[in-house]
Amino acid sequence: MSTTTPPQPSAAANPPQAAPPSDVVTLTIDGQQVSVPKGTNVLEAAKLLGIDISAFCYHPGLPIVAQCRQCLVSVEKNPKLQPSCQQVVGEGMVVHTTDKQSTLARAQQLEFTLVNHPIDCPICDKAGECTLQKLYFEHDNADSRVDTPKVHKAKAVDLGPTIVLDQERCILCSRCIRTCDHTSGQHQLEFANRGDHEILTTAPGEQLDNPYSLNTVDVCPVGALTAKDFRFTMRAWELDATPSVCNGCATGCNIEIHHKNGRAWRLVPRHNAKVNDYWMCDEGRFTYHDLREERLAGAVVDGLPAGWDRSIKAAADRLAVGRTAGQFAVALSALHCNEDNFALAKLAQSWGVTQIYIAAKPQVPARADGRLRVADINPNLNGVKAIAEALGMTTKPVYELDGNIRGLLALGDVLPGLDPGKLKDLEYVALAAHERGPVPHAKVALPVSDWAEVSGTVTNKDGYVQRMHAAFGPPGQAIPAWEAIVRLAGATGSNLKWTHPREVFKDMVAAVPGWNSLTWARDARPLSLRFAGSRG
């Protein structure tokens, strides 16, 4: 695989002093040349060539400790094997990973690691996505040579409110210790004892209870740390992964939804250097539970189930009451994606609305910790504001609803500041995914998709517009909110002709300044974890 090196200044053009240092380094790994930015380690350089040098303790988001000695390679002119995660690339360096010495070293390191490893695969949560399994199979695959009893340690240690530790499975790579320190700033995990009695344990007087604790489960290469929320619920190789964005707060950590058969089983972070690096908070991870709570699966008209045609007609009739009198309001939702809000705003615009309301959850100042968690727990407040502004509308929070409003069309199931008594008097039409909060008081409730079922975008606190992909379809008769809005538009004489969220997106980014250069990525197909080469 050849890569180009940057052009060097010619001798005549520059005086014969030292040329400005190039920040690209070229080295040779297994006979192939590769050019990487200065400061890269050999392990990462090899990945660019498709060479997988096994490693346990190395993680690109954590400080390098070279503790596991799994990534040893031969570097020419160096008599000892070097850990490639710690070895910084040098110009003209020649590295070998397929020579006998380093291959044997890596295979033997795996053998050492497995000497005391319990035969837990059938009952271990990590099985199927275990780095130890993967590396053993690809870099060792030799039979056991020892016949001695294994060293026993504690099997199900309660480390804190979210995590269970199995000390026997731990391979002492220290990723969790570094992760805990790095993500939460609190030192809550430590190693204790020595030799083959060394164990992972909590720091003196501490529990593993920081709000970023579950990141340690992600980084653990084996099944030593398991999440209480996920353990024994679903096998990793059954899951499909769909990329999306966490809807827990305005940070918008990039995530993967791990799902099977139309149901989400866990959320894990996806790498995004600009937003969340490799991490996410525990609260965000639990937001998948809500997807199955009190879902509105069919339209409800006056408290009784109805089909789509009848409910759309009923909604149009109800809204006409307020519209003819000029006393109706439309509320966008900071909990719904940009496309849903844009569709609703366009519909409102076609009805002559110039002032639109925004329904958003109140801020939680206690959450803001200067790391990933912020006070704003709405995933899309910035997006909604940008859309309203682009369409020339003024905005007001929904708790400042005008007193003489007779009709209300609201997206979402959160209308803070509006008590049920007031809602019952209004001709309130809800476009909601859950039947809770204000939605049971709606005259007409139209079921829509929740965030994990949506193919759309949300805008985070820094103005990044991030794409969510739908992991599965909505339950029952629910459809994406923008589609329900198109149907409603048809029944009320407005003309919204979209048939795909891509089309909504196209009109939206053309209308909103600052979003003009955004493009719609192809819908992500679910990636089967079983064949993805293991996450670990």
Partner 1 sequence: MATDAHSLKQLVLGRKDVQDLSDNENELPPDLMTVNMGPSHPAMHGTVRIVLTVDGEKVVKSDVQPGYLHRCFEKESEYATYTQIFPYTDRLNYVSPMINNCGWAMAVEKLMGLTHEIPKRAEYIRVIVSEMSRMTDHLTCVGASAMELGAFGPFLFFLKSREWLYTLLETISGARLTHTYVRVGGVNKDLPEELPAKLAHTLDQIEKVMVEVEGLLNNNKIFRDRMAGIGAMTKEDAIATGCVGPIARACGVDYDVRKDYPYSVYPELEFDVPVGTTGDCLDRYLVRIEELKQCIRILRQCLKQIPDGPVVVADPRVTLPPKTATYNTIESMIRHFKHIVDGIKVPAGEAYTFVEGGNGELGFYIVADGTGRPYKAYCRSPSFVHLSTAGQLIHGHLIADIVPIFGMINMIGGECDK
Partner 2 sequence: MSQKVLDALKAAHGSAVDRTATAHTDDIAWIKRDLLLGVAAWLKNDPAMAFDAPVFVTATDWLDWKPLNQPPSMAWTEDKPRFTVAYQLRSSKHRHRVRLEIELTEADPRCPSLSGLWPAFNWQERETFDMYGIRFDGHPDLRRIYLYEEFVGYPLRKDYPKDKRQPLVRRDDLPMNPIKADRHEGTK
Angstrom CA distances, 251 to 144, 181, 183, 359, 367, stand at 48, 21, 15, 18, 12
Backbone angles phi, psi at 216, to 5 degrees: -65, -30
Residues that bind partner 2 (CB under 8 A): 1, 47-52, 522-523, 525, 533
The distance of closest approach from Cβ of residue 115 to partner 1 in the complex, given in angstroms and rounded to an integer, is 9
- Smallest gap from Cβ 144 to partner 1, in A, equals 4
Strand ranges, E, within 182-253: 189-192, 199-202, 225-227, 240-245
- Answer for which of 94, 422, 530, 536 binds partner 1 (CB under 8 A) is 530
For partner 1, the binding residue among 127, 203, 234, 297 (CB under 8 A) is 127
Contact 55, 70 (CB under 8 A): yes
How many residues form the binding site for partner 1 (CB under 8 A)?
25
Minimum CB distance to partner 2 smaller for 166 or for 240? 240
**How far is the C-alpha of 201 from the C-alpha of 208, rounded, in Å?**
10
Structure tokens at 412: 């979402």
Dist CA 116 CA 57 (whole Å) = 18
- Torsions phi, psi for 374 (to 5 deg): -130, 170
Contact residue for partner 1 among 112, 137, 191, 399 (CB under 8 A): 137
**DSSP label at 479?**
B
Q: What are phi and psi of 489, to 5 degrees?
A: -60, -45
Pairing of strands 394-397, 355-359: parallel
Smallest gap from residue 132 Cβ to partner 2 (A)? 18
> Minimum distance between the CB of residue 48 and partner 1, rounded to whole angstroms?
16
Residue 143 Cβ, how far from partner 1 at the closest point, in Å? 6
Q: In which element (H, E) is residue 133 found?
A: helix 131-139
Q: Which segments within 30-93 are labelled E, that is strand? A: 32-37, 72-75, 82-83
| Pairing outcome for strands 240-245 and 254-260 | antiparallel
Is residue 257 within 8 Å of 241, Cβ to Cβ?
A: yes
Tokens of 65: 């400790």
Contact between 151 and partner 1 by CB under 8 A: the answer reads: no
127 binds, among partner 2, partner 1, none (CB under 5 to 8 A by kind): partner 1
Q: Return the residue of 88, 104, 142, 510 that touches partner 1, per CB under 8 A.
A: 142
- Binding at 95: pick from partner 1, partner 2, none (beta carbon under 5-8 Å per type): none
User: Nearer Cβ to partner 1, position 128 or 160?
Assistant: 128
Q: By C-beta, is 80 or 145 nearer to partner 1?
A: 145
What is the spatial distance between Cα 101 and Cα 179, in angstroms, rounded to a whole number?
32
Q: How far is CA 18 from CA 9, 90, 404, in A?
A: 11, 18, 77
Binding mask 208-247 for partner 1 (x = CB under 8 A): -----------------------------x----------
136 binds, among partner 2, partner 1, none (CB under 5 to 8 A by kind): partner 1
* Residue 237 interacting entry, from partner 2, partner 1, none, C-beta within 5 to 8 Å by type: partner 1
Q: Is the Cβ–Cβ distance between 486 and 500 less than 8 Å?
A: no
Binder among 24, 65, 121, 375 for partner 1 (CB under 8 A): 121
Binds 2, which of partner 1, partner 2, none (CB < 5 to 8 A, cut-off by type)? none
Binding partner of residue 133 among partner 2, partner 1, none, CB cut-off 5 to 8 Å per kind:
partner 1
Give the residue, chosen from 2, 10, 17, 144, that forms a contact with partner 1 under the rule CB under 8 A.
144
Distances (CA, A) of 269 to 178, 278, 496: 17, 6, 36
If contact means CB under 5 to 8 A according to the sort of partner, which of partner 1, partner 2, none does residue 137 touch? Answer: partner 1
Least distance (Å) from partner 1 to the CB of residue 134? 7
Distance between CA atoms of 359 and 409, rounded to whole angstroms? 11
49 binds, among partner 1, partner 2, none (CB under 5 to 8 A by kind): partner 2
The Cα diameter of the chain in Å comes to 87
Sheet hosting strand 527-528, strand order edge to edge:
263-269, 254-260, 240-245, 527-528
Query: Which residue, 155 or 289, has its beta carbon nearer to partner 1?
Result: 155
Strand partners for 426: none
Contacting partner 1 within 100-119 (CB under 8 A):
114, 117-119
Contacting range for partner 1; rule: CB under 8 A; set: 72-80, 274-282, 326-334, 528-536: 528-536
Q: Which of 56, 58, 136, 472 binds partner 1 (CB under 8 A)?
A: 136
**142 touches which of partner 1, partner 2, none (CB within 5 to 8 A by kind)?**
partner 1
Please report how close the Cβ of residue 68 comes to partner 2 at its closest, in angstroms: 21
Minimal distance in Å, beta carbon 446 to partner 1?
Answer: 36
Paired sense of beta strands 328-333 and 407-411, if any? parallel
Q: What are phi and psi of 254, to 5 degrees?
A: -75, 130
Residues 76, 82: Cα–Cα separation, whole Å? 10
Q: Which does 47 bind (CB under 5 to 8 A by kind): partner 1, partner 2, none?
A: partner 2
Q: Write down the least CB distance from residue 448 to partner 1, Å.
A: 31
Which residues of this chain interact with partner 1, rule CB under 8 A?
114, 117-119, 121-122, 127-128, 132-134, 136-138, 140-144, 237, 528, 530-533
